[in-house]
């Protein structure tokens, strides 16, 4: 039975031991699988993560790195407006709340998941 197996590891930097990654990257060879491909996607906010991997693990991966830029104030505003429509009744928020929150978040860190605390 052929095909593709896709493995997604969010917060891959929290694994601690990279033997898991080494074994996953060698699974086709170790399990003598010739008609199935395995793709591993690792997600991390730690841009230095790969530098801490064992050389053997790193060389087993045919890695391609994609770095996503932080959201700007406009993008954060769109995200917050979408969430506010789902989470609040109309006219509950003052019109200035979402633009202020998105501007402060963009200035501080650009991460839609870290919109608080906005005060220092």
**Nearest of 95, 99, 96, 94 to residue 80 by alpha carbon:** 99
Do 56 and 73 lie in one domain? The reply is no
Is residue 55 located within the same domain as residue 91?
no
Same domain for 44 and 79, yes or no, is no
Q: Are residues 107 and 73 in the same domain?
A: yes
Q: For residue 80, what are the domain limits? A: 69-120
Q: Which residues are within 8 A (CB) of 56 and not within 5 positions of it... i.e. 6 or more apart? A: 22
Q: Which residue has the tokens 């730690």?
A: 46
Pair 93, 44 in one domain: no
> Residue 101 corresponds to which tokens in the numbers above?
């929150």
Rounded CA-CA distance 114/118 in Å is 9
* Per-residue pLDDT reduced to its tens digit, 86-110: 999 988 889 998 998 888 888 877 7
- The answer on 91 and 53 residing in a single domain is no
Phi, psi of 38 (to 5 degrees): -125, 125
Domain match, 82 and 99 both? yes
Query: Where does a domain end: 30, 60, 90?
Result: 60
pLDDT in tens, 38-97: 888 888 888 888 888 888 888 887 777 888 888 888 998 999 899 899 999 988 889 998
Number of compact structural domains in the chain: 2
For residues 80 and 117, state if they share a domain: yes
Q: Is the pLDDT of residue 118 over 70?
A: no
Unique residue bearing structure tokens 């917050």: 80
Pick the residue with more confidence: 79 or 115? 79
Of 12, 41, 60, which marks where a domain is finished?
60
Q: 22 and 52: one domain?
A: yes
pTM beyond 0.75: no
């Amino acid at each position: 039975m052929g095909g593709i197996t896709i493995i997604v590891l969010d917060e891959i930097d929290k694994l601690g031991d990279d033997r898991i990654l080494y074994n996953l990257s060698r699974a086709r060879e170790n399990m003598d699988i010739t008609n199935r491909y395995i793709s591993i996607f690792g997600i991390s906010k730690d841009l230095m993560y790969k530098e801490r991997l064992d050389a053997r693990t790193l060389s087993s991966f045919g890695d391609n790195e994609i770095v996503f830029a932080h959201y700007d104030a406009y993008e954060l505003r769109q995200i917050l407006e979408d969430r506010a429509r789902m989470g609040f009744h109309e006219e509950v928020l003052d019109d200035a709340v979402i633009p202020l929150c998105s501007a402060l978040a963009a200035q501080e860190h650009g991460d839609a998941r870290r919109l608080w605390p906005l005060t220092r």
